[in-house]
């Protein structure tokens, strides 16, 4: 009941923000916006969501501080250099064929990708033909982006990514270092136009030849994703290019037939030559309060597993013993390297009767599947039993974080959840498992005495307690008995 009341308070808060200030966050991914609201409450020592409403309505400075928490500012220079290399080799030649062209960096945050684009255009001899529009709704982030000033500690990593992206010199050629900061050459910004633009409420933005919007749509609901993608499509010239983030896709969206793939691996598409008049802009519908009855009637069965050091071997033992008719879907967060080439799904599939795959943003969770958190993305579970991927800041020093996944499972699935902590070398997951138990779910923990690394299960036992403490060899049979018993009670 408390969860339903909290959700009602959140709807009231988001409605107040939209009414007073015109920012519409109601169709942001629920787990993401809830966490950002909780961060504001913690920082200002506010106990209830509803207590934020008077501050939002009457205190402009408080709202500006709050909205900064709501914007997505996780970015870096030349992030995913293989994507930038594909842009240089596959998109730049087409841009070069036009007498001049326009590029839109939508939701540019603090601007690292905008400066990255300017540098690569300069080296390709194309900057003089370009106009780069860099937009965001966060004026504080835009101000930093416009200054081109960043911490010097990030430059070593940025230089490596720049070279992998096809950079021709050293990145230091383009900035001046002073104390702990670097300032990028003002000559790069002569073709950049910085502007405030809100993707959720503002309209068509020019006629662009390339739109860059990476790792933003994963924070939106499917409705808002379709709205924004329609906006991009109407803003693109015929034959123009759209580049999204590594876990974002046009599949199953309202505009997927409007594009041809250029490089699917790097999420680059080209707009088909159809009449723009045929494309309706999808406007957001009136937000409806979440139906309490639909929550009670929905099937929210799930097994959520978290592990770290030694986890791959433990997962192989468990998954190899689960029957093909295992009645709950399974989601797993295993601490992995940020490398984009994780082979964990392929490894686990070899001896598993269920289908093992990397989770995709907005994918509906289905029985018979095992979903893995991709490298460098939190895996979150929404109220409608779809998955959201988030590149938000690390939790418990990890991304993907077990706590992030477990906390979302506790809110979305409650008593229908079974949380499992296996071997690992830190305490990630302990807090989230405690929240699953508080919501009425079950907690299974691998016996620390026989685990490959005992620290994670020990921390979970201290913080959350357990319904069962099991050896890894007995975990699968216990999960099967619990899942089938729960399924038969429906």
Domain boundaries, the chain: 2-70, 81-278, 298-488
pLDDT at residue 7 in the model: 85
Please give the structure tokens belonging to residue 432: 């989230």
Contacts 24+ apart (CB under 8 A), 281-285: 281/204, 281/227, 281/230, 281/231, 281/234, 282/223, 282/226, 282/227, 282/230, 282/254, 283/227, 284/24, 284/26, 284/27, 284/200, 284/223, 284/224, 284/227, 285/223
Question: What is the distance, to the nearest Å, from the Cα of residue 439 to the centroid of all Cα atoms in its chain?
Answer: 24
Say yes or no: domain 298-488 is CATH 1.10.760.10.
no
User: Is 81-278's fold the same as 298-488's?
Assistant: yes
If you average pLDDT over every residue of the chain, what do you get? 88
CA distance 332 to 420: 9
CATH of 81-278, one of 3.40.50.2300, 3.30.470.20, 2.60.40.10, 3.40.50.150: 3.40.50.150
pLDDT score for 341: 60
- pLDDT beyond 50 at 279: no
Measured CA to CA, the distance from residue 422 to residue 360 in angstroms comes to: 24
CB 391 within 8 A of CB 365: no
Strands 149-151 and 181-184: antiparallel
Given a contact cutoff of 8 angstroms between Cβ atoms, the answer to whether 486 and 457 are in contact is no
Q: What are the tens digits of pLDDT across the range 26-77?
A: 888 788 788 889 889 999 999 999 999 999 999 988 988 887 777 766 688 9
Beta strands in 58-109 (DSSP E): 101-105
Q: What is the pLDDT of residues 263-273, one digit of tens each?
A: 999 999 999 86
Per DSSP, helices labelled H in 108-202 are 112-123, 139-147, 155-164
- Six token digits for residue 453: 């690394």
The DSSP secondary-structure symbol of 415 reads G
How sure is the predictor about 322, in pLDDT bands with cuts at 50, 70 and 90? Answer: very high
Adjacent-strand bridge partners of 418: 303, 442
Residue 45's contacts (CB-CB under 8 Å, 6 or more residues apart) are none
- What are the C-alpha distances in Å from 448 to residues 96, 117, 422, 458? 61, 49, 9, 6
Band of the pLDDT at 284, cuts 50, 70, 90? very low
By residue count, the chain amounts to 490
CA atoms of 434 and 366, how far apart (whole Å): 25
Residue 64's pLDDT is what? 80
**Is the separation of the CB atoms in 463 and 437 below 8 Å?**
no
pLDDT in tens, 150-187: 999 999 999 999 999 999 999 999 999 988 999 999 99
Per-residue pLDDT at 296: 33
Helix (H, G, I), strand (E, B) or coil at 133: strand
Using CA atoms, how far residue 291 sits from 12, 37, 38, 432, in Å, is: 15, 21, 22, 25
Listed range (384-398, 434-448, 468-482) with the worst mean pLDDT: 384-398
**Is the Cα torsion angle 102, 107, 109, 112 positive or negative in sign?**
negative
> Computed from CA positions of residues 78, 238, 220, 413, in that sequence, does the dihedral angle turn out positive or negative?
negative
CA distance 432 to 298: 22
Q: What is the pLDDT of residues 185-227, one digit of tens each?
A: 999 999 999 998 888 888 787 789 999 999 889 888 888 899 9
Q: 393 falls in which pLDDT band (50, 70, 90)?
A: confident
Cα–Cα distance for residue pair 236/242, rounded to 1 Å: 8
How sure is the predictor about 276, in pLDDT bands with cuts at 50, 70 and 90? Answer: very low
CA distance 242 to 261: 10
Largest CA distance in the chain: 69
Give 21 or 136, the one with higher predicted confidence: 136
Of 69 and 313, more confident:
313
* Calpha distance 377→400 (Å, rounded): 5
Q: What is the pLDDT of residues 99-129, one digit of tens each?
A: 999 999 999 999 999 999 999 999 999 999 9
Q: Percent of the chain, pLDDT > 70?
A: 92
Query: What's the mean pLDDT in 307-324?
Result: 95
Closest to 78 in 3D by CA, of 156, 162, 189: 162
Model pLDDT, residue 122: 96
């Amino acid at each position: 009941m408390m969860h339903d009341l909290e959700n009602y308070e959140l709807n009231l808060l988001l409605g107040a923000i939209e009414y007073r200030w015109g920012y519409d966050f109601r169709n942001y991914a629920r787990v993401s916006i809830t966490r950002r609201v909780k961060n504001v409450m913690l920082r200002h020592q506010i106990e209830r969501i509803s207590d934020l409403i008077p501050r939002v309505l009457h205190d402009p400075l408080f709202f500006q501080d709050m909205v900064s928490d709501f914007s997505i500012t996780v970015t870096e220079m030349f992030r995913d250099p293989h994507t930038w290399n594909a842009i240089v080799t596959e998109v730049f030649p087409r841009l070069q064929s036009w007498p001049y062209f326009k590029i839109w960096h939508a939701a540019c945050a603090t601007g690292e990708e905008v400066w990255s684009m300017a540098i690569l255009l300069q080296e390709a001899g194309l900057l003089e033909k370009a106009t780069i529009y860099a937009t965001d709704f966060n004026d504080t982030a835009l101000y930093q982006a416009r200054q081109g000033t960043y911490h010097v500690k990030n430059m070593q990593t940025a230089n490596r990514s720049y070279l992998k992206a096809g950079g021709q010199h050293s990145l230091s050629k383009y900035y001046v270092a002073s104390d702990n900061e670097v300032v990028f050459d003002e000559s790069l910004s002569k073709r950049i136009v910085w502007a405030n633009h809100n993707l959720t409420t503002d309209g068509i933005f020019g006629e662009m030849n390339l739109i860059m919007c990476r790792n933003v749509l994963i924070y939106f609901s499917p409705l808002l994703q379709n709205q924004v993608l329609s906006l991009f499509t109407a803003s693109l010239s015929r034959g123009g290019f759209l580049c999204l983030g590594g876990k974002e896709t046009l599949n199953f969206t309202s505009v997927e037939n409007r594009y041809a793939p250029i490089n699917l691996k790097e999420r680059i598409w080209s707009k088909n030559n159809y009449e723009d008049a045929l494309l309706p802009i999808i406007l957001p519908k009136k937000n409806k309060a979440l139906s309490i009855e639909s929550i009670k009637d929905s099937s929210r069965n799930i097994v959520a597993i978290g592990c770290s050091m030694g986890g791959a071997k433990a997962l192989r033992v468990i998954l190899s013993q689960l029957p093909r008719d295992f009645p709950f879907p399974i989601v797993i967060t295993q601490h992995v390297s940020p490398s984009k080439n994780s082979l964990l799904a392929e490894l686990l599939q070899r001896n598993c009767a269920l289908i093992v795959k990397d989770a995709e943003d907005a994918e509906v969770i289905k029985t018979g599947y095992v979903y893995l958190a991709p490298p460098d993305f939190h895996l979150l579970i929404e109220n409608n039993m779809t998955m959201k991927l988030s590149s938000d800041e690390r939790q418990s020093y990890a991304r993907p974080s077990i706590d992030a996944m477990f906390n979302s499972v506790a809110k979305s699935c409650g008593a229908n959840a079974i949380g499992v902590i296996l071997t690992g070398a830190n305490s990630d997951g302990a807090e989230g498992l405690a929240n699953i138990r508080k919501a009425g779910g079950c907690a299974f923990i691998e016996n620390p005495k026989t685990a490959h690394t005992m620290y994670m299960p020990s921390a979970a036992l201290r913080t959350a307690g357990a319904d069962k403490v099991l050896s890894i060899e007995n975990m699968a049979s216990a999960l099967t008995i619990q899942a089938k018993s729960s399924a038969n009670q429906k």
